[in-house]
Amino acid sequence: MTGIVLIDIALFLYAVVLPGIALTRLWLERDEVLLILTLGAAVGVFTLPLLAFSLAVLLRTHISPMFILLQGTVVLAIAGGILWRRKRTKQDATAGS
């Protein structure tokens, strides 16, 4: 994408692996780090490209690096918002009792 290996690896981790880890964290609701990282990497590598392809077909466009980066950012933002809200709800429940 950029031609610089370290930046390309960082972009791959940001756009593909981290959204998969965030989605896995949403679904599992457990704090087992190795399980979340392993399943998250698998979800990111196998599910997010399928989502990108499906969105590209629905929008009648092509898959570009910016499209994948944007998709990863949106998934991270949504998952982060849900996780933040869930954490805040738990804190309010424990503080209220």
Dump pLDDT digits (tens) for 24-44: 999 997 889 999 999 999 999
Of the candidates 86, 84, 25, the residue with the CA atom closest to the CA atom of residue 17:
25
Is 65 inside any structural domain? yes
Is 85 inside any structural domain? yes
Is 97 inside any structural domain? no
- Tell me the pLDDT of the chain averaged across its residues: 91
CA distance 94 to 58: 44
Q: Is the pLDDT of residue 6 over 80?
A: yes
Is 96 inside any structural domain? no
Is 26 inside any structural domain? yes
Per-residue tokens: 96:
């209220």
| Chain-centre distance for alpha carbon 40 | 8
Q: Is the pLDDT of residue 97 over 60?
A: no
Q: What is the pLDDT of residue 35?
A: 94
Per-residue tokens: 90:
């738990």
Which residues constitute the domain of residue 15? 5-91
Is 58 inside any structural domain? yes
Phi-psi sector, 63: left (phi>0), alpha (psi -120 to 50), beta: beta
Q: Say which range, 10-19, 22-31, 35-44, 74-83, has the weakest mean pLDDT.
A: 22-31
Q: Is the pLDDT of residue 80 over 70?
A: yes
Q: What is the pTM of this model?
A: 0.85
Phi-psi sector, 60: left (phi>0), alpha (psi -120 to 50), beta: left
Type of residue numbered 95? A
Query: Based on the structure, what is the number of domains in the chain?
Result: 1
Type of residue numbered 2? T
